[in-house]
Amino acid sequence: MIGESMPPLGLFYSLSLGTFVPTDHLLRRIRPLVGDKAVRRTCRALYSKTGRTAIPPEQLFLAMVGGYLLGELYVFRTRLENAK
């Protein structure tokens, strides 16, 4: 089953993970560019109609993009350090 991206905020903790992410973080600038409805529409056929609720596809997409960008940033910095 496809998950929803609006979890209950105060279920276990009284804090938000957004408070730990800097306001100038790269993913905060990318997030408005990702169309949740388009990602859900594209991925809907990949999810079962029954079973446990899965991670929302837009969150998986952002995690993959973030991992890729952070990996590329690390490679770029490593190349700069090795060039010195």
pLDDT in tens, 7-44: 555 556 677 777 888 888 877 888 888 888 888 888 88
CA distances from 44 to 2, 5, 29, 31, 78 (A): 7, 14, 26, 20, 38
Question: If residue 75 lies in a helix (H) or strand (E), which one and from where to where?
Answer: helix 57-83
Distance of CA 34 to the CA centre of its chain: 10
Q: Which residue has the tokens 């990602």?
A: 39
User: What is the chain's mean pLDDT, rounded?
Assistant: 79
Confidence of residue 57 (pLDDT cuts 50, 70, 90): confident
- Is residue 2 a contact partner of residue 50, using CB atoms and an 8 Å limit? no
Predicted TM-score (pTM) of this structure: 0.57
Residue 1 has pLDDT above 70, yes or no: no
Confidence of residue 66 (pLDDT cuts 50, 70, 90): confident
